[in-house]
A and B are shown apart, each in its own frame.
Chain A
Amino acid sequence: MNKTVDINLANILFHVDEKAYNKLQRYLEAIKRSFAGTPGSDEILADIEARIAELFQEKLENERQVITLKEVDEIITIMGQPEDYMVDEDIFDDVPKTENTGSTPRVKKLYRDMDNKYIGGVCAGLEYYLGFDALWIRLIFIFLALFTGFGFIAYILLWILVPEAATTSQKLDMKGEPINISNIEKKVKEGFDGVAERVKNVDYEKVGNKVKDRGRTFFDALGDIIMFFFMVIGKFIGILLIIIGAATLIGLFVGLFTVGILDVIHIPGLDFYDMVNSTDAPVWLVTLLTFFAVGIPFFFLLYLGLKILVNNLKSIGNIAKFSLLGLWLLSIIILAILGIKQATAHAYTGSTRQDEVLFADKTPDTLLVRMKSSELYSYQEDIGFDGMTLTRNEEGERVLFSDDVHFDIQQSEDSLAHIHIRRDADGSTFEEAEARAGKIDYVYGLDGNAVVLNDYITTAIENKVRDQQIHINLLIPVGTVLQFDPSTRHKLGWATHYDEDLYPSDVPDYSWIMQSDGKIHCLDCPADVYKKERDEDGHIIINKEGVDIDLKDHGDSFKMKIGNDGLHIKSGE
């Protein structure tokens, strides 16, 4: 059982089933919409309604019969779908006065021109869009591709994202008038001409309407100008985004992917990655993740820029967008996990101590400190991390190597000379760190009255770079004279106390004696060493030997010296 609705079609009464009524109403609404804006649309609609009424009447056998869905469907089949009502505007080109022909200039859209293509028709399409010869555009693309790689990526992207001009209307869109200043100007002028004409032909009875029209035209023109400037700014931002996005992507691509791919081939320095890395993640994975994590946001930036610049860009699709987003999140999460893992490898610092007596039988009155350089220097590889680098030892094995070794002079508590060697290293547990510290290879020797210290440490590669360090303390009994070999220059640490106002690097120039207060006293320092022109507030001397600054203020002090042996800065209270 269904309700019926009474309707009036072309002044004739029909009983219509409720469902049929709804369908008929939707149909007529759709037709009305398809005629919206066409001159005489009301008349067309009335004609159509009249025809439908006529058809209904033919179908009904008596006046009491109700129109059902079946009849409505039949009518729709006869009359056609709303899109069948659309008449191609071109039909009326040769009919006078029906169309206001050529009123609006076409706005150009970027399409790929498949008729004049070499590869994908991108350049040929750009020819129309930008308005200069495709030959130049091709040359620019080739130039950019050869020298920066940007041309190549831009071409591929445009190839994917710009639709090809398949239909005539798309081809016309492609060749349409360019959006430039002269066109905007033309449009504005047209607007003013319209105003002028209306003023000339002013119809005083409808002057009110005219004023309204004139206002609208003027503001249309003003709107065009404002829109033009917004468009220019927008396009500029678009270009900027494209450049930023593309440059970053290319940089990343070249930088990371070459590293990732070259992992297969051995390049020096890359094995350092293994020394530093503690996550067991292979190089290519980390590279790929970094590429995604950094590259995807910049890809979207590039896409946004293209979208601003080119009106009818194809969307890359929601699936692509969301998978990229997912990939990005995944990369970030994995990188974060790897980062945490990496950080924990340095969580603990472990140390081992070595305490030995020098010259067990009798401490010589004069003790010479000498440092021994390593012949391993010559095998050093260029790439280092955390002060450590790779080299080969005497047996030709690859070892980690660091020459950051310093020593300090301190007072011995007994009558013997001692050496304290502390080895430090990091690890994910205290025990691991301690074990690693113990694996630092360091030796010293005695030669007559000389202590010979190696100025480098080595450790096997499998121990990896974990902030390995060494601290050497020479404990000297009171009254022992100390002399330094020139090789110890720059190797004396800051913890050595001495009673002259010298820099540690200058200490080896003189002879010293250990005093009972733990300081070493200079035996042969000239009295005026760095004491010229000195007053209570300190001094600044600039002469042939370099720059010497020594400032004191309320207990704070600052010393800087620039000389032949480099720059030294010391500050303290």
Chain B
Amino acid sequence: MLIVVDPSSAQPLADQVAASVRAAVARGAAVPGDKLPSARAVAAALGINLHTVLRGYQQLRDEGLVELRRGRTATITDLAAEGGRLRLREAAEEFAGAVRHLGASEEEALDAVRRALAER
């Protein structure tokens, strides 16, 4: 599983960690039952804070994508098998990034999505 972060990015590091795991699941590189690397190992390898990695993992737990147990590693859940939903989320995050970059409002962004859907 590949985890990539960019400390110079405006996106919080915890979000970047979570997004990396989502991307790995979406492309089939991580499947249900796979264990995530320990937060300590990831933090050491990337030179970031342990709690930052844990916050990223907790995001994934809140989404139901991983199961976290105290003192044990995080495990990808069966929800990861629903790759389509994850790809949709990835695409939405990419779109949200573009919206922020362009300075568009939330209403403008949602209108754009509705128009795009209506045209198909």
A and B bound? no
